[in-house]
Structure 1
Amino acid sequence: MQLNQYIDHTLLKPTAKPEDIEKLCMEAVANQFIAICIPPSYLKLAKSILKTSNVKIATVVGFPLGAMTTDAKVFEAQDAIAKGADEVDMVINIGILKTGNTEYIWNEIAEIKKAIGSKILKVIIETCYLNDAEKKAACLAALKGRADFVKTSTGFGTAGATFEDVQLMKQIAGDKMKVKASGGIKDRETAIKYIELGVSRLGTSSGVNLVISEKN
């Protein structure tokens, strides 16, 4: 199994410096990862490094809390695409979801998808804060808003991806939307299990270690 084609090689730490982003980009090229995932402020830098490679550039919107206004998220998304992003990973408004107002959630997702057009939209639902009914509601909202992916976690919550959450999300997504598992994926066995459960992407900062262990 070629894990590299599932990996969004990720660096979203608040302490990330330009040289760290440069290193991430070079690792992504060397290992032929499908994408990198970085803060928006480093998009132009990443684009300059990756312009001749096949590595896609993903960034985050409304990150990590999701509590920004829809207008702010739409602006962030449009700005990200203008600066070179191929993909946008947005965070839903978790508090509003928990009130049961799913219309707000899917409207926001739809607005962002409309703003970025054919570019890939991944919707982070932050599963660690949701019960199963809320997870299902969030996935259905992502589906209704025409998202390309639903994603488990920011990596900044109280927990990351779990096998159970991915199974639940895949049930809702079916073949109409892809699933990205993110947060806490640090070894090859875990990565393979997620792929077997049907995920199309793995968000991890341990991508290099995963492919090294694959070769050994």
Structure 2
Amino acid sequence: MINKAKKLSKVIEFTNLDNSATIEEMKAFFDKAKEYGFYSVVVLPHYVKLAKEELKDTDIKVVTVVDFPLGAGNTEGKIAESKKAIADGADEIDMMANIPAIKNHDFESVKNDIKSVKEAIGDKVLKVIIENTLLTVDEKAGASRMCEDGGADYVKTSSGFNGNEDFYALMESLRIMKKNAPHLEMKAAGGINNYKLASNVMAAGVTKIGTSSGTIIMDQLNHVLENQKISPNQKTGPRLI
């Protein structure tokens, strides 16, 4: 049971991208990340240094976002933003893909944009957000292929700032991403706010979940595990699962 909870905590990238959050609110957020032992925190570039300082005695990684949430900046700006974030202590970068280029089916530009940033950050992990909520099926497929061809480490579903896909649309998006970027890992974000949904996206091949609801998801799982401990012959667990 403990292993199941620990395994889930290391999938969750605990996220706070609230641009009105204060230092004290961020410190409280980092305390929660430490309490639950999440894989990483995802913060705005402004708070990367603070995150690195607050988490220095842990194995929790610091992730930040680039060209977020519009995905309409130029490559040079993304490179500069990424390098600065890494200098400030970021371990991983979640970068918006070039959304206008995707919508114009200019996939070569999308690939070159990703490739340039990946080359600039070297062995740091690069996750590319393709913003599925704005894309057609063909655009999702093309963008996913460019993530792989451009050398990204992950293809990520969305920013969460342009609405969220419903369950069936999300599952279909993950299928398209996996088919077209078979060698990349997948990160799901945007509305992953309960254990049942987290479990479903992991079953679909997701290896990282970006969510501001990490503590809720973990509490729901722990509730299920506690019930199973009390009733070991229970086969299915509460309806939560």
TM-score of the pair, normalised by structure 1: 0.97
Q: How does 1:32-181 map to 2 (within 5 A)?
A: 32-160=37-165, 162-174=170-182, 176-181=183-188
Residue identity (%): 39
Secondary structure in structure 1 of the residue aligned to 2:188: strand
Give 1:159 deviation, angstroms.
2.1
The unaligned stretches of length 5 or more in structure 1 are none
Amino acid at match of 1:16: A
Moved more, 76-85 or 12-21: 12-21
Aligned mates of 1:153, 1:48 — CA distance in 2: 28
- Report the aligned-residue RMSD: 1.1
Contact 2:163 2:190 survives alignment (8 Å): no
Supply the distance in 1 between the matched residues of 2:207 and 2:29 (Cα, whole angstroms). Answer: 21
Which is greater in Rg? 2
- From 214, 218, 236, the counterpart of 1:211: 218
After the TM superposition, which segments of 4 or more aligned residues of structure 1 sit over 6 Å from their partners? Answer: none
- 1:200 is paired with a residue of what secondary structure? strand
Q: Distance in 2 between matches of 1:178 and 1:17?
A: 33
The residue type equivalent to 1:167 in the other structure is R
Gaps of 5+ in 2: 224-241
Q: Residue 160 of structure 1: CA displacement?
A: 4.5
Alignment correspondent of 2:20:
15
Q: TM-score scaled by structure 2? A: 0.87
Q: Counterpart of 2:163 in structure 1: which amino acid?
A: T
Provide the rounded CA distance (Å) in 2 between the counterparts of 1:155 and 1:187.
Answer: 15
Q: What letter corresponds to residue 125 of structure 1 in structure 2?
A: I
Matched AA of 1:163: M
Q: How many residues align?
A: 215
Aligned CA distance change for structure 1 residues 160 and 75 (closer, same or farther; 3 Å): farther
Contact 1:154/1:160, CA 8 A, preserved across alignment:
no
